[in-house]
Amino acid sequence: MFNLIYRTPNNVKNDLLSGLTVALALVPEAVAFAFVAGLEPMVGLYAAFMMGLITSLIGGRPGMISGATGATAVVMVALVMEYGAQYLFAAVLLAGVIQIGAGILKLGKYIRMVPHPVMLGFVNGLAIVIFLAQLGQFTVKNEVGESVWMEGTMLYTMIGLIALTMAIIHFLPKLTTAVPSSLVAIAVVTLLVHFTGLEARTVIDFVRDMLPAEEAATATLKGELPSFAIPAIPFTWETLRIIFPVGLIIAAIGLIESLLTLTLIDEITGTRGHGNRECVGQGVANTVNGFFGGMGGCAMIGQSMININSGGRGRLSGVTAAIVLLGFILFGAALIEIIPLAALVGVMFMVVLGTFEWSSLRIIRKIPLSDAIIIILVSGITVIADLAIAVIVGVIVSALVFAWKHAQHIHAEVTTDENGTKIYSLRGPVFFGSVANFKELFTPETDPDNVIIDFVRSRVSDHSGIEALDGLAEKYTALGKNLSIRHLSKECIQLLEKAGNLCEVNVLEDPDYHVATDKLG
C-alpha cells in the first residue's frame, strides 16, 4: 500500500535521525499554536502527533511534515472563545471530511496552476513569518506578569547560543554528513547549558510563561495517549451553522498551505508528490484529530525544511518524528523540557535563511513589473494577514494581468474573396477580457452583404464571447446583411449549441477541423 522507507540503509538512517530532529522542533510550535487558539498545550501536541503520523503514512508527499500550525490556529480562536473546544473538534472533523472530498474530486491538481511569482511571494512571506515568530522567544515575563524584551546577560547568552547553533548547522556538513547538523546543534547547546549553568530559557520556561501563575509552577509536557471521543455537541442544524464556516476555512487554508509546501519540496528534491492523495491524507488526519481531541492542522513548511535539509526523504522520517514526539509526551517530557529555546530558534533561523528565495531580490528588476508587484504583494499579505488570502489574491491578480495582456492580442486580418465576401481572420481568443476590442474590429455599416469570421486561429472561450458574437450577428441582421462564422473547433461548436438561442449565428460546418490554437500555443 505504501513504502515507509527507501531501499538503501543510508536513507533509513537519515530518515530516523532527521525525524528525531523534527520532533524536537515540533514541541514549542505545537504548544504555542495551542495557546494561540485558546487551548491547552496537550491539544497542540496531540495534533502534531496525529497529523504527522497519518499524513506521513498515507499522504502524497514523503518527507513533508504536518502538524498544528499558526495558519489554522488563528481561525479557531473565535470559535473556541465563544463555544468551547468541543465545537472546535467538530469543526476540525468537518474540515477533514471536506478535504477528503477535495481529494476524491481530484481538486489537488489545480495547485499546479499557481503562478511562479505567487510561489516566490508565498515562500518569501512564510520565511518572514517564521522569522518574526521567533522574536517572541526574546521576551520574558516581569514581576507583574508583563512580557518584556530580554536585557543584559540573558540577552547576550541567548544571542550567543543562537549563533553557536547556526554555526554548527552551517559548518558541520563540511566535515561530515553522517548525522544531521541540526540534531547535533540542539544536543551540543543543550549539554552546554545543562553542564555550565548558563542563564538560558528552556522549553518548559516557554510553556510556563503562557500559563496563569497558579498553573505555571506545576506545568509539564508529560501526558497520556489521546483517547477516542465523539465531540460533545448537539447534533442540530444550528450546530452545523456554527461549525461549517470555520471547518470550511480550516479545510481551505490547510489544503492551500499543504499543497504549496508540497510543490516547494517537489522543486527542492526534484521529485513529484501527489496533490490529490495529499488532500485525502490531510483530510483523514484532521478527521482523526476531531475524534481524538486534537486541534488539527496542515503541512508545516519550517519543520518540512528541517526534515529535508537533515536528509529526510522517505515516509519513515515523518513517522519517526510523530512517534518520537509521542514518546516525549509519554516518557521523555523531562528531557525535552530542558532544551534551550536558543537552540530551536537557531534551527528556525537557518530554516528562514534556507527558505527565503534570495534569487528573487536579484531578478526583481529583470522580470516584468507585474510579476515583481505580485511577488511583493503576496509576501506582504502573507506577513500582515493570512497565507490563504495572500495566495488567493496573488492568483486573482495574476489572472487579471494575464487577461488584460491577452485582451490586447486580439486582432483580425481583413480580406475579400472573389465573390465579394468580406473575411475577418481572427487572431487571439474571444473572452470576457477581449470582447471590447473584438467588437471594435468590425464595421457592420460599411461591410458588404456577406461577411465571414474565420476562427482558424481563434476560439470562443466563455459566455462573454458568446454574447459578443450574438450581439454582432444582430447588428448585421438589422442591416439586412448575413454574418457567418467558420473553422470553429468542435469544442466551440458545443459551446454554441449549449447556449442555444442565446447566440443565433450561422455556423459554416467543417467537421474535420480541430482546435488550431491548442497546437499553436
DSSP-assigned letter for residue 37: T
| Residue that is last in its domain, among 320, 343, 360 | 360
Average pLDDT over residues 320-326: 95
Query: What secondary structure does DSSP assign to 311-354, as a single string?
Result: T--SHHHHHHHHHHHHHHHHT-HHHHHTSBHHHHHHHHHHHHHH
Query: 54 and 154, same structural domain?
Result: yes
| Residue that is last in its domain, among 360, 384, 399 | 360
Distance CA 412, CA 420 (A): 18
Whether 110 is covered by a domain: the verdict is yes
CA distances from 460 to 407, 465, 510 (A): 13, 6, 16
Query: 117 and 224, same structural domain?
Result: yes
Residue 206's pLDDT is 84
Residue 500's pLDDT is 62
Whether 376 is covered by a domain: the verdict is no
Whether 342 is covered by a domain: the verdict is yes
Residue 39's pLDDT is 87
Does the pLDDT at position 2 exceed 60? no
Please, are residues 16 and 311 in contact by the beta-carbon 8 Å criterion? no
pLDDT digits over 400-450, tens only? 888 888 777 788 999 998 889 999 999 988 888 888 888 999 999 999 999
Q: Is residue 149 classed as helix, strand or coil in its secondary structure?
A: strand
Query: 85 and 13, same structural domain?
Result: yes
| Average predicted confidence (pLDDT) for the chain | 87
Residue 513's pLDDT is 45
Residue 301's pLDDT is 86
Average pLDDT over residues 180-194: 92
In this prediction, what percent of the chain has a pLDDT beyond 70?
93
DSSP-assigned letter for residue 145: S
Rounded to two decimals, what is the model's pTM? Answer: 0.75
Residues 6+ apart with CB under 8 A from 506: 473, 482, 483, 484, 485
Predicted confidence band at 397 (pLDDT cuts at 50, 70, 90)?
very high
Query: 412 and 351, same structural domain?
Result: no
Residue 509's domain spans which residues?
A: 408-520
Whether 373 is covered by a domain: the verdict is no
Residue 501's pLDDT is 58
Please, are residues 158 and 150 in contact by the beta-carbon 8 Å criterion? yes
Q: What is the CATH number of the domain that holds 486?
A: 3.30.750.24
Query: 421 and 353, same structural domain?
Result: no
Average pLDDT over residues 248-256: 91
Return the higher-pLDDT residue of 67 and 113: 67
Query: 295 and 222, same structural domain?
Result: yes
Residues 6+ apart with CB under 8 A from 116: none
Residue 53's pLDDT is 97
Residues 6+ apart with CB under 8 A from 284: 54, 58, 96, 100
Where helices occur in 228-272 by DSSP H, the ranges are 237-269
pLDDT digits over 498-507, tens only? 766 555 566 6
Please, are residues 317 and 63 in contact by the beta-carbon 8 Å criterion? yes
Distance CA 65, CA 315 (A): 10
| Residue that is last in its domain, among 328, 360, 392 | 360
Average pLDDT over residues 370-381: 93
Whether 109 is covered by a domain: the verdict is yes
Residue 8's pLDDT is 45
Predicted confidence band at 521 (pLDDT cuts at 50, 70, 90)?
very low
Q: Each residue of 12-43: b (16+ CB within 10 Å) or e?
A: bebbbbbbbbbbbbbbbbbbbbbbbbbbbbbb
Least confident residue range of 73-82, 164-173, 297-306, 488-497: 488-497
Residue 421's pLDDT is 92
DSSP-assigned letter for residue 511: T
Query: 355 and 413, same structural domain?
Result: no
Does the pLDDT at position 1 exceed 50? no
Phi then psi for residue 40, to 5 deg, are: -75, 155
Residue 277's pLDDT is 95
Whether 286 is covered by a domain: the verdict is yes
- Domain tally for the chain? 2
Does the pLDDT at position 520 exceed 60? no
Residue 504's pLDDT is 56
Average pLDDT over residues 142-152: 84
Q: Is residue 407 classed as helix, strand or coil in its secondary structure?
A: helix
Query: 416 and 337, same structural domain?
Result: no
Query: 61 and 209, same structural domain?
Result: yes
Could you tell me whether strands 147-149 and 139-141 are parallel, antiparallel, or unpaired per DSSP bridges? antiparallel
Query: 313 and 440, same structural domain?
Result: no
Does the pLDDT at position 130 exceed 90? no
Whether 366 is covered by a domain: the verdict is no
Q: Is residue 147 classed as helix, strand or coil in its secondary structure?
A: strand
Residue 267's pLDDT is 87
pLDDT digits over 345-357, tens only? 998 898 888 888 8
3-state secondary structure 54-115: HHHHHCCCCCCCEECCHHHHHHHHHHHHHHCHHHHHHHHHHHHHHHHHHHHCCHHHHHHHCC
Query: 125 and 202, same structural domain?
Result: yes
Residue 515's pLDDT is 41
Q: Among residues 157, 177, 498, which one has the least CA distance to residue 340? A: 157
Whether 172 is covered by a domain: the verdict is yes
Could you tell me whether strands 506-508 and 482-486 are parallel, antiparallel, or unpaired per DSSP bridges? parallel
Query: 428 and 329, same structural domain?
Result: no
Return the higher-pLDDT residue of 514 and 481: 481
Q: Among residues 75, 88, 43, 73, which one has the least CA distance to residue 239? A: 88
Distance CA 123, CA 354 (A): 10
